[in-house]
Amino acid sequence: DSGVTQTPKHLITATGQRVTLRCSPRSGDLSVYWYQQSLDQGLQFLIHYYNGEERAKGNILERFSAQQFPDLHSELNLSSLELGDSALYFCASSVVQGGTEAFFGQGTRLTVV
Amino acid sequence: GENVEQHPSTLSVQEGDSAVIKCTYSDSASNYFPWYKQELGKRPQLIIDIRSNVGEKKDQRIAVTLNKTAKHFSLHITETQPEDSAVYFCAASPYLRGGADGLTFGKGTHLIIQP
């Protein structure tokens, strides 16, 4: 167990819908990173929050957004969902910035039908 | 941005033999290089990492080497066991450059240990 908690584990939704994925980082970790894993694109960095502030964006679509709350948990919002958004979404947390020693949650498997 | 190439995509070795996975990176600012192991349907797990001020690091049967001049790093697993079967990902990050960027991953190597 990495100490990073993601909910839900599985999510099935229809095209055009909006979903919210939740991540609770390890106790004491200030950084939360979101990654998308798909067969064709591999593991791709989406966005990074540090202590409530957005620090970097990767390959994140405009339909996607995230935030980190004062208790340091984070949410990834995916809207106007398309079939191609079906993937595993991971969050990872680390004490400091820079992705060092990042520990991954178990992921949310999103299926868009 | 950073680009990480990983080879081979599939590696099959006999149990007890060694396995080597190689990665190259493009951004000379990258100075943190972790390796993750991912079993089917599970989360990536950090198995070893190395920073640019170190050329080699070992942890039991696992070792990582880094050549900053050539911009490549490798994972070495000795005395392979069936439980080593998984997909392995290398990654790179510019740790000291503000530290904000996430990890850039290679495409992964499916390691198969043959009994």
What single DSSP character describes residue B103? P
In this structure, what token pair is assigned to residue A30? Answer: 């200030």
> How near does any CA of chain A get to the CA of B102, in Å?
5
Q: What is the 3-state secondary structure (H, E, C) of A82-109?
A: CHHHCEEEEEEEECCCCCCCCEECCCEE
Highest mean pLDDT among A57-61, B73-77, B95-99: B73-77
Residue-wise pLDDT for A46-97, tens only, equals 999 999 999 889 889 999 999 999 999 999 999 999 999 999 999 999 876 5
Residue-wise pLDDT for A1-37, tens only, equals 879 999 999 999 999 999 999 999 999 899 999 999 9
Size of interface A-B (CB pairs under 8 A): 78
Comparing CB atoms, the residue among A97, A101, A104 nearest residue B44 is A104
> How near does any CA of chain B get to the CA of A100, in Å?
7
- For residue A95, the chain B residues in CB contact (below 8 A) are none
- Beta carbons of A35 and B91 less than 8 Å apart: no
- For residue B45, the chain A residues in CB contact (below 8 A) are 2, 104
pLDDT at site A75? 98
| CA dist., res. A32 & res. B89, Å (int) | 20
- The A-side interface with B (CB below 8 A) comprises 2, 33, 35, 42-48, 50, 55-56, 58, 90, 96-107
> How near does any CA of chain A get to the CA of B99, in Å?
4
- For residue B95, the chain A residues in CB contact (below 8 A) are 98-100
pLDDT at site B95? 61
CB A75 within 8 A of CB A19: no
pLDDT at site A100? 66
Residue-wise pLDDT for B83-95, tens only, equals 999 999 999 987 6
Least Cα distance to B101 among A2, A89, A46 occurs for A46
Least Cα distance to A2 among A22, A19, A27 occurs for A27
Strands B86-92 and B109-114 turn out to be antiparallel
Residue A8 neighbours by CB distance under 10 Å? 12
- Beta carbons of A105 and B32 less than 8 Å apart: no
Comparing CB atoms, the residue among A2, A44, A99 nearest residue B101 is A99
Residue-wise pLDDT for B8-57, tens only, equals 999 999 999 999 999 999 999 888 899 999 999 899 999 999 988 888 99
Q: Is the pLDDT of residue B100 over 70?
A: no
| CA dist., res. A93 & res. A50, Å (int) | 10
Please, which pLDDT band fits residue B99 given cuts at 50, 70 and 90? low
pLDDT at site B96? 55
Higher pLDDT, B99 or A16: A16
- For residue B94, the chain A residues in CB contact (below 8 A) are 98
Q: How far separated are the first and last CA of chain A, in Å rounded? A: 31
- Beta carbons of B103 and A106 less than 8 Å apart: no
Q: Is the pLDDT of residue B98 over 60?
A: no
Instruction: Give the number of C-alpha atoms closer than 13 A to the C-alpha of residue A61, restricted to the C-beta side.
Output: 12
